[in-house]
Structure 1
Amino acid sequence: MSDSEKPQAVAHEKPLADDAYLEDDPHRAALEDNPDRPEKLTWGTVLSIFASRPWFLRFLGLAFVGPVSGGFLLITAILFQIGTELGDVSNIAWMPGGWSIASSVSFSIAGSLSDIFGRRYVTLSGQLFAVVGAIVGATAKTTTTVVVACTLLGFATGIIFVAYAGIPELLPNKWRNVGLAWTEGAMAIPWAICGVIIANELVSKASWRWCFYIAIIYSVISFVGTALVYFPPSRPRRDYEKTRWQEIKEIDYMGIILYTSGLTVFLVGLTWAGTPAHPWKSASVIAPIVIGVLVFIACFVYDFTVPKQPLFPLDLFRRYREFTVLLVVVFVAGMIFYSMSGILPQGTLYMFESDGIQIGLTQLPNGIGNFVGGTLIPAIAHKIKHLKMQMIVALTIQLVFVALYSVAVPQSKPAWMAFQFFGQGCFGMITLLCYFIAGLHVPLRELGIASGLIGTFRSAGGSVGNAIFNTILTSVVTVEMPKRVTAAALAAGFPAGNLEQLIPAVVGAATGVPNAFAAIEGATPEVQDVTLAAYRAAYGYAFKRVFWATIPFGVIAIIAACFVLDSSQYLTNHTAVRLEKDTVGGTGAKTGQHQHQHQHGGDVESHEEAGGRARKLD
């Protein structure tokens, strides 16, 4: 590409000295620091991100497998089975709920810390958290302990996800989506694709604890591998006028407390709502919801006005089209995906199949859709371009097919399977497009916190969605299931005096308990058939309400996506940083910063030098 053919850089009120703009202006950097060919990747970069054939070398991508695949995807597929074995199914919704809350908090914390200390040590600490959380889960004796384990793994996930900032900055702009898609691929094969089958096989042939054993194995391997090959810049923020200790003291601890407490209290109210002990009008529901909302609002008011290094930086939120609307999009996508990840396998169990293998096979299109939408399509997003339109299309597909689940239940298993391919498959694409677009708009010095915020809102959406949709499901089933089963049993001639024993037997038979009706007098084959049909119809009625409830949120996300500023023009050969040390086949950047070759007789000047010279000129 000749100079005349390259896109013209955007105008600026005040020119920056030489390559200092790489840090402050991603648009100008993408257009001006745009070599004819992409920079050759070093072996350290390749092993850190891709490391194609030996699966155990995909260290950054591998880091997600333990806390995400083991701690979330596999666990959500067998929530009911875990709760049943441990004798407490009332708290199973808190397994994905705790995971989502913890990850939403740690995303932003880790993003800020990685801008101060670099991505390497933050990523390694997250991998250690994953090992601890997996050990807690593997040794759990109660459902509550499993919730704690999932919460720890969720916290680890948010920390490890700084790779969503670390991976793009190591790659040319137009290849960033490939690196992000690779991380999704590490989770998809085989975990997202066959996760339900694997989880149910573990339950039937070994133990659900193997979900956590798998997380331990992967987390240990990824920790060792990352420690050996991943050496990104040690200080991405490059605020050389402050020490790291000064920056640590300026972290927004009050904002973290307000955000965490507000979100948690709000979700407690939503989760309790509609149960027999906590009706919607009760103070135990209204008080936590109202208090949670007020504390949550107070968090943003405080953050926008008081702290020097806020959890939610106002200057980032002022980038409405470049960044803020992406938070709305990813929040809604997280609401739908994370809640459905737990709800859909339960729907298969309650309405279609009780055999673990058949449940897994029924959910297989869901997993394949995750792989196609989260790995294959995002990997070619830079070829398709029109990133904004890709996002709108993906959101529309998600909206339509999640709503169409209601057409399939409880009678059409083939439609139930087919619709999940599209309804769940778009989440990975939507999420990676949000990271991709934000990375092309946000300055390098804020990339960590920006990526952290996208992760925060994604997981916060998952927490809210999990609470809302499970509350709808539980409240409707609590009313409809006993009523319908009782009516069907009496109509088939079942004695009214035995109804108290019948409903637990129906629940057991529907979920695979052998000979559940054996001890029930009057439970003829006809009674068994009609009550099971009534049970499934009640759940079908409840699930329809859940799926319909997603529609307004999906519409909001599509409207928000229409305002996204497309970043396709910045898909250039510009690379933001290099590895600080390349342990395989090269030396990396000696200064620890991205070095830029200037046309000054071949001299090389580091960001630190150029940044200092720019400050003197200013």
Structure 2
Amino acid sequence: MAISHDEKRAGAEVEVNENSRSEARHVPIHEIPLDLDDPHKAALEDNPAHAETISLTTFLAIASLAFSYVCPISCGFVLVTSILVPIGTDLGDTTHISWIVGGWSIASSVSFSLAGAISDVFGRRWTIVAGEVIAIIGSIIACTSQSTLMLAAASTVIGFGCGIIFVSYAGIQELVPNKWRGLLGLTECAMTLPWALAGTLIATCLNANTAAKWRWCYYIGIIYGVLSMIGTILFYHPPPRPQYDFEKSRLQQLKEIDYIGFLLYTGGLTIFLIGLTWAGTPGHAWKSASVIAPIVVGLLTLVACFIYDFTIPKQPFFPYSLFCQIREFTVLLVVVFVAGMVFYSFAGLLPQGSLYMYTNDPIQIGVIALPNGFAQVLCGGIATLFMGKVGHLKLQVIVCLIFQTVFTAAYAGFIPMNRAAWSAFQFFSMGPFALITLLCYVIAGLNVPLRHLGIASGLIGTFRSGGGSVGNAVFNTILNGVVKGQIPKRLSEVAGTYNMSGEQLAALIPATVLNAVGVPEAFAEVPGITPAIEQAAAHAYREAYAYAFKQVFYSSIPFGVIAIICACFIKDSSQYLTNHTAVHMVREGAMGKNPGRVKEHATTTTTGLQDSNSETDKSSN
């Protein structure tokens, strides 16, 4: 027996069965999305002949959400990481520049899942606005920083805001037909044009040609952050309670959030990364207690976090039910973790490689990175828009991972002499990351029930940024550890070849380092220096970094292989790329002055009522 259209319009309250929207009782049935517990059934049964058109307000809302990423990612990460060494030099401390990346990655990793849980209580809109405000505040702190550590702290604030903003990935997917979920690519277009396309070039030009230098990266971020926040407030009006659970007050739901799991994860990841970052630095040998203790304690804390979350809390930070969806969800976490390891760490390392192995001209460093930028635009901004048309989502992930793994390792065969290959390979190694990430978001969105979409999207972001944090610590530790042994060794060989004394060698080493970052007059301080020695020392310095970078590239291979194997087990959800739309905005127009569209459908009751399809609804009218 079908529920009539008039009954639904009257707001008939239906007692739903335990397996279908069981927590959404006493809500008008036409307001409860079919996707709440069974996205597969919703995608196949609520599949009109033609996809609904996206209203102007919805498009403006999506555009505002997309541009909200410019402040924390394009400006607060992409531009800044491309000039880490110049920034550290300007602030008088290059030792701690890796924490500008590490702090951002850790904070965003932590805030992703917390924001997902909070958005399920307070709705996506105000959660995202809160993230935008935090990112703006972090940018203000950053552009007034007077030390590297203060900038790292500001970067941490920006990263925390970014993780909260990423709730909009779930928000965008909810508002568009399944087959158009590639519109997530609009976020990549906003982030890449022109920021990733020519990010290194833009950043180096700002640093070299403006009075405020690198601080302009953050000034631009503040401008975009304010504008996108205004757009979000004006146009984005999604359902205020995404879980449709009105039996509990927001205060009750807020109390049930897993704060213990949040603290265990935050503390464990931070302590673990401190151990990895200290490893191999002066006073912190790999075998020392200062390295072993934080690594072990951090890992044990992370294990305790998962054990606790899988057994005790009502609303866990890491829901066991989601992790049980191994092929539909869990393997995606491994994929984005590895993709994040490679992308976020090499976003900062590749410009350093260009500086130390090829040129200290900031403009040329930007030119070298152009293929990387073009790849971000093509893979993240354009190809993503067609992922639904292409289909075969699982195969797309596997192919992208193969490209990322193979071409990251292939750098090792062409450094330090082949500048063209170093530049071109950045297209194939860095470009796939955005497409991999958005594919994982879409696959998860098609497989995970709507009631868990916020936390699921948050977990993907958590593991992606967590991978970036681990990768940044691991790869920087390898690079710095090898370099510190190679530079004295190779310059000693130069000194021996030219019969230089120990005093001359002691002066040659720091002079060579300064020459590499654009201070050629430093060689004048070396007694008995000649043009031949200068050339030999510069060549030895490049070779030392090339050897160190090779070890980094080789070390990325096992991680890539693991990700490819996991991707082979992904359950392809391409069949659910239908014309189905999960939810609509509850209000339309600027400031939500007009009623939103109400989606009409029925559900089954405990007495066995059958779902009504669109044709039955029409006949009821």
- Is TM more than 0.5 here? yes
What 5-or-longer segments of structure 2 have no aligned partner? 1-16, 22-28, 603-611
1:306 and 2:304 aligned: no
1:91 and 2:65 aligned: no
1:27 and 2:33 aligned: no
What 5-or-longer segments of structure 1 have no aligned partner? 1-11, 50-57, 606-618
Q: Which residue of 1 aligns with 2:11?
A: none
Q: Which residue of 1 aligns with 2:61?
A: 48
Q: How far apart, CA to CA, are the structure 2 residues paired with 1:439 and 1:329?
A: 16
Residue correspondence of structure 1 range 79-478 to structure 2 within 5 A: 79-177=84-182, 179-206=183-210, 207-478=213-484
Distance change in 2, residues 1:415/1:294 (3 Å): same
Task: Tell me the CA shift for residue 603 of structure 1.
Answer: 9.9
Task: Tell me the CA shift for residue 520 of structure 1.
Answer: 1.8
Return the letter of the residue paired with 2:127.
Answer: V
**TM-score of the pair, normalised by structure 2:** 0.91
1:552 and 2:558 aligned: yes
Return the letter of the residue paired with 2:442.
Answer: F
Q: How far apart, CA to CA, are the structure 2 residues paired with 1:589 and 1:407?
A: 61
Contact 2:237 2:592 survives alignment (8 Å):
no
Contact 2:60 2:231 survives alignment (8 Å):
no
SS of equivalent residue, structure 1 residue 291: helix
Contact 1:137 1:150 survives alignment (8 Å):
yes
**TM-score of the pair, normalised by structure 1:** 0.92
SS of equivalent residue, structure 2 residue 359: coil
Q: How far apart, CA to CA, are the structure 2 residues paired with 1:561 and 1:439?
A: 17
Task: Tell me the CA shift for residue 588 of structure 1.
Answer: 6.3
Q: How far apart, CA to CA, are the structure 2 residues paired with 1:200 and 1:408?
A: 25
Task: Tell me the CA shift for residue 344 of structure 1.
Answer: 0.3
Contact 2:333 2:463 survives alignment (8 Å):
yes
Q: Which residue of 2 aligns with 1:38?
A: 51
Task: Tell me the CA shift for residue 587 of structure 1.
Answer: 6.9
Q: How far apart, CA to CA, are the structure 1 residues paired with 2:33 and 2:132?
A: 33
Task: Tell me the CA shift for residue 490 of structure 1.
Answer: 2.6
Q: Which residue of 2 aligns with 1:498?
A: 504
Contact 1:201 1:357 survives alignment (8 Å):
yes
Return the letter of the residue paired with 2:126.
Answer: Y
Return the letter of the residue paired with 1:278.
Answer: H
Contact 2:234 2:590 survives alignment (8 Å):
no
Contact 1:490 1:496 survives alignment (8 Å):
no
Q: How far apart, CA to CA, are the structure 1 residues paired with 2:619 and 2:72?
A: 45
Contact 1:330 1:431 survives alignment (8 Å):
yes
Contact 1:335 1:458 survives alignment (8 Å):
yes
Contact 1:373 1:425 survives alignment (8 Å):
yes
Task: Tell me the CA shift for residue 496 of structure 1.
Answer: 2.9
Cα deviations across residues 65-124 of structure 1 (Å, max 9, x unaligned)? 000011110111111111111111111000000000000000001111111111100010
Q: How far apart, CA to CA, are the structure 2 residues paired with 1:302 and 1:489?
A: 58
Task: Tell me the CA shift for residue 495 of structure 1.
Answer: 3.3
Let me know the Cα RMSD of the aligned residues.
Answer: 1.9
Cα deviations across residues 334-375 of structure 1 (Å, max 9, x unaligned)? 001000000000000000010000000001111111111111
SS of equivalent residue, structure 1 residue 518: helix
Q: How far apart, CA to CA, are the structure 2 residues paired with 1:255 and 1:137?
A: 29
Contact 1:494 1:527 survives alignment (8 Å):
no
Q: Which residue of 1 aligns with 2:4?
A: none
Cα deviations across residues 126-185 of structure 1 (Å, max 9, x unaligned)? 1100110000000000101100111011001100000110001000000001x2101011
Q: How far apart, CA to CA, are the structure 2 residues paired with 1:374 and 1:39?
A: 25
SS of equivalent residue, structure 2 residue 585: coil
SS of equivalent residue, structure 1 residue 515: helix
Return the letter of the residue paired with 2:90.
Answer: E
Residue correspondence of structure 1 range 576-587 to structure 2 within 5 A: 576-583=582-589
Q: How far apart, CA to CA, are the structure 1 residues paired with 2:230 and 2:620?
A: 33
Q: Which residue of 2 aligns with 1:609?
A: none
Task: Tell me the CA shift for residue 40 of structure 1.
Answer: 1.7
SS of equivalent residue, structure 1 residue 340: helix
Q: How far apart, CA to CA, are the structure 2 residues paired with 1:13 and 1:561?
A: 33
Task: Tell me the CA shift for residue 39 of structure 1.
Answer: 1.0
Task: Tell me the CA shift for residue 492 of structure 1.
Answer: 2.5
